[in-house]
Structure 1
Amino acid sequence: MNVLLCFMAIILACSAVSEHEARKEWEEFQVKFEKNYKTPVELQRRFSIFKENLEKFEAHNKLYAEGKVGHFLGVGPFADMTHEEFANRFGTNIEEIDDSEFTLYTPLNNTYDIPAAFDWKNIPNCVQRVKDQGQCSSCWAFAAAAALEAQYGLANHADVELSEQALVDCSNDYGNFGCNGGLATRAFSYVMNNGIPTAASYPYTAYDGTCQPFNSVMKIKSFMTIPSDESAMLDALWNQGPIAVSIDALGMIKDYSGGVLYDTQCTTSTNHAVLVTGFGTEKGQDFWNIKNSYGPHWGESGFLRLARGINNCGITKRPSVPVV
C-alpha cells in the first residue's frame, strides 16, 4: 500500500504545473490579452487563479489525449477568472418571449439535398471576422449583427460589418437592455423599422451609450423564428443562411480551446447568444459550428464546435434568422 501511495504521489507531482512554467505562461497571457491589474495583491490573486486553471486544463487534456472527451481546454481570455466570476459577468437571463408574435419558419424538408458537412463561413461575403464583446453583456447584439451581415453579403455579394453598438444604444424600446442583456429577435425588430449603420460609422465601445443619429445601410423585411428542433435548425441553416441562437455558456465553454464540445455541465436555460454558421461530424459526433463573440483568441479562432442532435446547452430554445 505504501509503495502504491508513493507511486501515485510521483505521478501527481509530475503532472502538476511547475511554478516556472506557470509564470512563463502567465507573462505571455498578460501580453496577449492586454491584462492590467490595479494592485500587486490583485495581480497575485489573478496569478493564483490562472495557475489553478492551468492545472485543470492539464488534467482535462489528458482525458482528451486518451480519447475520453472530445474537446480540449487552453489559455484564453478568461484564464484568470474563476467559473463563478465568469458566470456573474456574462450570465444574463432575459424573460421568455411569445413566438406567436413572429413568423414561424416552415422547414422545406429537403434533407436529401443537405450534405454531411457545410459551413457558410467558407462562402464569400457571408461570415465576417470574429469580434470581442468585452465586458458588456451584448452577445445578443453581436449574434444579431452577424446574422444580418450574412444576409447582406448573400444578397449584395459584398462584405459589410454592421454596428453592434447601434443595437446596444438604440433598441431599448424594443425590449433590449444594452450591456445588461437582450435578444437577437428584438434587435431584428428594431432593424426592421430603423435600419442599422456600419460598424465603422458607429463603432463599438463595450458600454451603454445614448442613441446617436446614423445613416442606415440595411433594413430587413422580417425575421423568422425556427421550431425548437435540431432538424428544423439544420433545414433553416442550409436553406436560409446562418442563424442566431441562444445557449447556456456557463458550463464548460469558458476555457474551450478546440475539438467537439459535448458539454455535460451546461443546462437548457440559455444566457448567451451566438451565430450558427455550419455543421459537420468528427469521430462519429455530429456538431454545430458556432461563431462566438469572445474574440479571435478564444476557442478555434473564435469559433466553437458544439455537439449536435442532443439539444446541448439548450441550443434549440431560441433560433431565428432575418429575412431581407
Structure 2
Amino acid sequence: MITYVYLVCKSLSLLFSSSALDTSIITYDQTHLKTPRFPLTDLELASLYENWLVGHGKTYNAAGEKERRFEIFKDNLRFIEEHNSVNRSYKVGLNRFADLTNEEYRSMFLSGTMKRVKLNRMPGRNNSNRYVVRVGETLPKRVDWRERGAVNSVKDQGQCGKSICVFMCLFVSFIFLLVEGINQIVTGNLVSLSEQELVDCDRSWNKGCNGGNVDYGFRFIINNGGIDTEKDYPYRGVDGTCDQNRRNRRVVSIDGYEDVPANDENSLKKAVANQPVSVAIESSGRDFQLYQSGVFTGSCGTSLDHAVVVVGYGSENGIDYWIVRNSWGPNWGEK
C-alpha cells in the first residue's frame, strides 16, 4: 500500500496522505485509533503497547529488548500527546516507528545528508528552462496523479533483505515510480517495472544494496535501452547476479531527464502538472518520524536526507500543499 504526506514547508509543503484527516490518533487498536484519557494507568499503557505490537507484527528476541522498547514507546507517546494537544494542521501518532528513538529512526531509514553528485557532463541529463513559468501563464489549481492512474503501488523499504539495502531500495523505488508514471501518461498502461534488475545489473555506477544515486539509475535505463517488467524479473530485495536474458527484455525506456529550476515553487508546480517529480527533503524530525495525518507544517531544513516523489498539489483551509508519495509501507502516513 502506498503512503503519502501532505507537506508544507517554507520552500516545500508536504501532505503525507489518506483521504480523511483523523484528528484522534493516540490510542491504538487493530482497526483504528482513538483518543485516550490521560494520564493512562500502567495497565492501560501495557495494554496499549501489546495491541500496538500485535497490530504491527513486532517481536523482540533479545533479553530485555521488549522492556527497553516499551520505555521508548512510552516516551514517544508522551511526545504524541503533547503535540496533538495543540491545534495544528497535522497529527502524529503510534505508527510503525513508535518503538524507535529518533536517532535509531534516522540511522535506519534515512540516508544521511545527500550530496549532489556532479553529473552535468553525463549525456541524457538536461538543465533546461522548460518549466520556468512565463508571464501570463496559468497553472492548474489542483493536480493529483493518483486520480489519473499514473501512480503504481510501491514496496516497503523494510522488505529489503539487509538494512544496508534500504537506501538502494529507496532510490530504486522512486526511479521506477517516475518511469512507470511517465509511461502511463504516454501510453495509458501502468506497468510495474523490475526494481531487481536495477539492483542486480546496474553496477557501473550504483552498488546494489550498498548504495546508489537516482541519476545513475536513469543513466542505466537509458544506456540499456529500457527495463524489464516486475513480473518477468521479480523483486527480491537483496543483491543478486544480473540475469542477462531478462536484462535484454526492454519493455519501457526513457530518452533523458532534467532538473527543475531550483528554489522556484511555480516551476515545480508546472513540472508536477506534467508528471510526477522526484525531490529530496529533510525528514529527520521527530514529528516527521511519527507523522500520521494532515498537512505537515513542521520544521523543514536543508540537510536533505530522504528521497520522495511529488505526485500532486492543492490547497486545504487556505494552506497550499504538495502531495508527496513515500515508501515506508501502510503503517506510516496517510493511505
TM-score bracket relative to the smaller structure: 0.7 to 0.9
In structure 1, how many angstroms separate the alpha carbons of the residues matched to 2:265 and 2:210? Answer: 28
Q: In the alignment, is the contact (CA less than 8 A) between 2:272 and 2:311 conserved in 1?
A: yes
Structure 2 residue 138 is matched with structure 1 residue 119: no
Structure-1 residue corresponding to 2:254: 220
2:59 is aligned to 36
Q: CA deviation at 1:108?
A: 5.3
Alpha-carbon separation, structure 1, partners of 2:147 and 2:291: 23
C-alpha separation between the residues in 2 aligned to 1:205 and 1:32?
A: 25
Q: Is the 8 A contact 2:183 2:252 kept in 1?
A: yes
Give secondary structure in 2 for the equivalent of 1:173: coil
- Name the CA distance, whole Å, in 2 between partners of 1:94 and 1:168: 20
Give the letter aligned to residue 113 of structure 1. T
Alpha-carbon separation, structure 1, partners of 2:69 and 2:237? 23
| CA 1:285–1:73: 2 relative to 1, 3 Å | same
Task: Indicate how the Cα distance of structure 1 residues 172 and 245 shifts in structure 2: closer, same or farther if over 3 A, else same.
Answer: farther
Structure 1 runs of 4+ with >6 Å offset: none
Partner amino acid, structure 2, of 1:183: N
Of 176, 181, 185 in structure 1, the residue corresponding to residue 211 of structure 2 is 181
1:262 CA displacement:
1.8
Residue 133 (structure 1) aligned with residue 157 (structure 2): yes
Structure number with the bigger relative contact order (C-alpha 8 A, sep ≥ 6) is 2
Q: Contact conserved, 2:114 with 2:303, CA < 8 A, in 1?
A: no
CA contact (8 A) 1:275 1:291 kept: yes
In 2, Cα distance between equivalents of 1:287 and 1:221:
30
Say yes or no: does 1:50 pair with 2:81.
no
Cα gap change, 1:242/1:201 in structure 2, threshold over 3 Å: closer, same or farther? same
Q: TM-score under structure 2 normalisation?
A: 0.77
**Residue identity opposite 2:65 in structure 1:** E
Question: Do structure 1's residue 274 and structure 2's residue 308 form an aligned pair?
Answer: yes
Given the alignment of the two structures, is residue 23 of structure 1 paired with residue 46 of structure 2, yes or no? yes
Instruction: Please give the root-mean-square deviation of Cα atoms over the aligned residues, in Å.
Output: 2.1
Per-residue deviation, 1:196? 2.0
Secondary structure, aligned partner of 1:276: strand
Structure 1 residue 37: deviation in Å? 1.2
Q: Which residue of 2 aligns with 1:96?
A: 116
Are the aligned partners of 2:92 and 2:292 in contact in 1 as well (CA < 8 Å)? yes
- Per the alignment, residue 89 of structure 2 pairs with 70
Partner secondary structure for residue 122 of structure 1: coil
* In structure 2, distance between residues paired with 1:17 and 1:187: 49
User: Against the structure 1 CA distance between its residues 208 and 249, is the aligned structure 2 distance closer, same or farther, given a 3 Å change threshold?
Assistant: farther
Question: Could you tell me how far 1:33 is from its partner in structure 2?
Answer: 2.5
Query: Could you tell me how far apart the structure 2 residues matched to 1:140 and 1:211 are?
Result: 18
Report the more deviating stretch, 144-153 or 28-37. Answer: 28-37
Q: How far, CA to CA, are the matches of 2:187 and 2:236 in structure 1?
A: 28
Corresponding pairs, count = 280
Query: Structure 1: any 5+ residue segments left out of the alignment?
Result: 1-13, 302-324
Letter of the structure 2 residue corresponding to residue 123 of structure 1: R
Distance 1:253 1:112, change over 3 A: same
> C-alpha deviations, 1:237-256, integer Å up to 9, x for none?
112x0011111121232111
